[in-house]
Structure 1
């Protein structure tokens, strides 16, 4: 098995590559390279989300529930992406009386941008890595958590009690599961001894065991499968997929924090939700599945990374179709009394094992 690494300390980051192609250096090269690199990564994720939201989600759900999904507009129904975009953005933007602007206007913008910012430190393979700070993992969690601010702003500013309750439920859920998510990620940091994304990927490139001539890499999903399952479950709650979609479930409190939003603002909420799903998949791939590592030449790194984040997306859609929703009280109990305790137990056990081995 060949091993793919996106970026080590000796490889040129995306910013330097773009600046070199443009013949720029110094501060100007860093600024222009950074802006163009961010624009490139953002557009890749926006295209991915555009395919996932209007089309792939419907196709996957239809397959799980034995129904026929979109298949009339364009080949394989792919033009439903364009049709949905035109339909939603052409609707009237209704602003309810008494909303608190500009908070009401800023809330739908915060959600997608908080997720897009997280991709700046994700090693995607084939040289696609915008930045590699020493505290890259902390940065990814920090910017992703800004979404909670958008949920509060949306619920509070809508001048609707149901929206407010939906926003508070969403934040309560995020807090209850974000702590186990971060604590579980800390167990990976104990193994690697670094918060730098490229280092976390590099450690997983080491061989774990060789069986019948086949080398199994030291992916943390193999090294610590318990942490992998915990992180996967907590991520489901963070992105609001079953069984943890209670805050915005129509059978609970109308549409939750987004009840009073329409047109392009609703599109931004929808977009933010799916970008967060793929950011969660990117973190899972980086922390537990070797990042862009996979068989074949190094140039296939981005392909393997894309396959992994789509696999996580497929898992979330399977849960959406197959796993029943829990009540809000059960949701909170699972987070604080179950996931939190298990994540700290995993952290302590990991520290003990690493201490004994080292």
Structure 2
């Protein structure tokens, strides 16, 4: 049973009206949870993690562990004057930040986050998630060309080049998981990972990240490039093109772009958790007493921690290196992985 069905049942509302109300409330609940996680990650966790990696203290004055800084930072950013540069192409300039956030939030509609915490479960759920996540590239292009700024325009062009170079390997690697699961439906992909594999005397979960670690690494790297994190943060590259596509944005528009980046990181983490790490499943049966939703959050925060580690540990690659890695490396490896997976699935007993 999906979350909208559960909500409409609790409210005692049947029919189309119950479905609509349940879907609206369920979407609002999931959206609020993901936005809250992104708000925690951006103003607080990012700074604390980076400080830990670089042997600094970071924010610590307000509240326990500096958590009290989140609200003042939000008020400070939202209360700043919204400066609209001359010559911007409106309404494209206004719409771009909104698309950035909602394209990421829409992807969570098909992600199973735990028992009954699933907004929708279409038969093409994985394709839907890939499709709506890629809409973010449109917002980057819109922000770049509409800002009437050469640095913003360069950032938009880089976003297009990066998306083309890494979107294809990302999807091809995801399709290798589909070959194992035999379905594009997210719930079926999670269900296919519920068995236990015997590794000698040790039993390990049949997560696709363990069954095919090569595909897992490929998807992880392509996802980092897709969400524009170091060493692939070429579209904004602060030391090269000021701030790239977001150079001319301030106040609430900057907050939307900044928040959208972190929601996309969590969407990428949600996809990795779902198709490679068993979704909301616990790593061992003994830990199943912990609710699946908690395990799901732990996994996506683990992916976020990984992106922040890369940010502190690796230098940014040049644009030509990024394109070469994507087309000459990732694409070739993802095609080879898909081919080998098809061969393995074809010879395995059904």
- If asked which structure has higher relative contact order (CA below 8 Å, sep 6+), I would say 1
Match of residue 343 from structure 1: 334
Question: Larger deviation: 239-248 or 92-101?
Answer: 239-248
Report the Cα offset of residue 74 of structure 1. Answer: 1.7
Please give the secondary structure, in 2, of the residue aligned with 1:163.
helix
| Larger mean Cα displacement after TM superposition, 294-303 or 235-244 | 294-303
Relative to the length of structure 2, the TM-score reads 0.97
Counterpart residue number, 2:324: 333
Deviation, 1:324, is 1.2
Match of 2:263 in 1: 275
Aligned to 1:317: 308
Per the alignment, residue 127 of structure 1 pairs with: 116
- In structure 2, the residue corresponding to 1:146 is in which secondary structure? helix
Structure-1 residue corresponding to 2:277? 289
Shift of 1:13: 1.1
Gaps of 5+ in 1: 1-11
Please list the CA deviations of residues 124-177 of structure 1 after superposition, one character each: whole Å capped at 9, or x if unmatched: 013211000000000000100111110111011111121111111012111210
Change in CA separation of 1:333 and 1:317 when aligned onto 2, cut-off 3 Å: same
Q: Distance in 2 between matches of 1:32 and 1:239?
A: 32
1:69 to 58, 77, 80: 58
Q: SS in structure 2 opposite 1:209? A: strand
Q: Distance in 1 between matches of 2:200 and 2:48?
A: 38
Secondary structure of 1:73 counterpart: coil
Match for 1:47 among 27, 30, 36? Answer: 36
Query: Which range is displaced more, 284-293 or 298-307?
Result: 298-307
Partner in structure 2 of residue 204 of structure 1? 193
Aligned to 1:188: 177
Look up the SS of the partner of 1:290 in the other structure: coil
CA drift of 1:346 comes to: 0.2
Which residue is equivalent to 2:299? 308
2-side partners of 1:279 and 1:163: how far apart?
Answer: 25
2 CA distance for matches of 1:136 and 1:19? 22
- Secondary structure class of the residue paired with 2:203: strand
1:221-259 deviation digits (Å, cap 9, x = unpaired) = 111000000000001101111111122111111110000
1:250 is aligned, of 229, 238, 243, to 238
Correspondent of 1:98 among 50, 64, 87: 87
Q: Is the 8 A contact 2:281 2:288 kept in 1?
A: no
Deviates more, 1:73-82 or 1:256-265: 73-82
* TM-score of the superposed pair, with normalisation by structure 1: 0.95
Q: Any stretches of 5+ residues in structure 2 without a counterpart?
A: none
* Deviant stretches of 4+, over 2 Å: 295-299
Distance in structure 2 (CA, Å) of the matches to 1:27 and 1:210: 49
**Structure 2 residue 127 is the aligned partner of structure 1 residue 145:** no
How many Å apart are 1:195 and its aligned residue? 0.2
Q: 1:232 aligns with which of 193, 204, 220?
A: 220
**CA-CA distance at 1:298 after TM superposition:** 6.1
Post-superposition shift, 1:76? 1.3
